[in-house]
Amino acid sequence: MIIWVRAFIFNILFYGLSALMCLAIIPLIFAGRKTSLLISHIFNGMVYKLEKNVLRLDYEVRGKEYLPKEGPYIVAAKHQSAYETMKLHPLFYDPAIILKQELTRIPIWGKFLMKLDMIAINRQNREEAMSSIVDGALRMKAQKRPIIIFPQGTRVRIDATTKEKPYKGGIIKMYNATDLPIIPLAMNSGLYWGRNSFLKRPGKVIFEFLPPIEPGLPEKKVMQALEERIESTSIRLMNEAKENDPGLQHLKTPIDYTNEVQVNA
């Protein structure tokens, strides 16, 4: 019951804060990108305080040693909820996120996203989307910014397999065009902040960076390595969380991905 009360209070405060932030940024629509970036960090910091103090939800980052010390790179991330989208700026400072074009059409907020200079794609037109991904990635490489992509293209239920939500080819187009390494990013955020869920649970989300996939490898090998690493690690992180918190044990997750690959081989 307490979890539901905390979630109710958090949602009121979160959406109220989001509305106030939209009003506050109206005078700043014509401000420069540095100002917009600062506002993004302020907003994400305020949301984090709400998560920590109201929901009792925090996060931990593992594998930071796999991130390049300098220069651009690609991060291929699992996408289980809205939670991780609000941690991308704290994690990378100035990331270029590949996102659906519809988000840029949201009044006020869409203008703000454009100020942050993201890579917006039209998911209804595959050819146009691929072109936008490649052109945008090359532009971000020149800016030396990390590029974040969700290879499955959308938020995925924690119990969904890659048969239901397969990895898409946009990341390969970007990988070949930019000649940049791919850093896989696994997580268990969906256990605590479900996809399209009102309920948010207390606990600790784990983000885990994995060894990089270096440039120049065959496409099939890249996709296989990417999928296996992200899926098996995300499942391991979810299982770890469930072992540590009995309140999560009723949530369904896929069978271990490595076992599934071996069975189907």
Residue indicated by tokens 């009044």 = 107
Rounded distance between C-alpha atoms, residue 197 and residue 191, angstroms = 11
Whether 219 is covered by a domain: the verdict is yes
Three-state secondary-structure class, residue 255: coil
Rounded distance between C-alpha atoms, residue 109 and residue 76, angstroms = 25
Rounded distance between C-alpha atoms, residue 205 and residue 261, angstroms = 26
pLDDT (0 to 100) of residue 256: 55
Whether 8 is covered by a domain: the verdict is no
Whether 70 is covered by a domain: the verdict is yes
Residue indicated by tokens 């080819």 = 169
Per-residue pLDDT tens digits of the chain, which is 265 residues long: 799 999 999 999 999 999 998 888 888 777 888 998 999 999 999 999 999 999 999 999 999 999 998 899 999 999 999 999 999 999 999 999 999 888 888 887 888 888 899 999 988 888 888 999 999 999 999 999 999 999 999 999 999 999 999 999 999 999 999 999 999 999 999 999 998 889 999 999 999 999 999 999 999 999 999 999 999 999 999 999 999 999 999 998 876 555 444 433 3
Bridge partners of residue 208, in order along the sequence? 62, 186
What CATH number has the domain bearing residue 175? 3.40.1130.10
Q: Number of structural domains, the chain?
A: 1
Of 205, 206, 185, nearest in space to 193 by CA: 205
Whether 145 is covered by a domain: the verdict is yes
Rounded distance between C-alpha atoms, residue 7 and residue 56, angstroms = 10
Of 120, 136, 137, 155, nearest in space to 74 by CA: 137
Question: Which sign, positive or negative, has the C-alpha torsion 50, 52, 57, 63?
Answer: positive
Residue indicated by tokens 């081989």 = 265
Whether 11 is covered by a domain: the verdict is no
Of 222, 220, 203, nearest in space to 212 by CA: 222
pLDDT (0 to 100) of residue 264: 37
Whether 52 is covered by a domain: the verdict is no
Whether 260 is covered by a domain: the verdict is yes
Bridge partners of residue 170, in order along the sequence? none
Model pTM above 0.85: yes
Q: Which helix (H) or strand (E) holds 77?
A: strand 74-77
Domain holding 114, by residue range, is 58-264
Whether 94 is covered by a domain: the verdict is yes
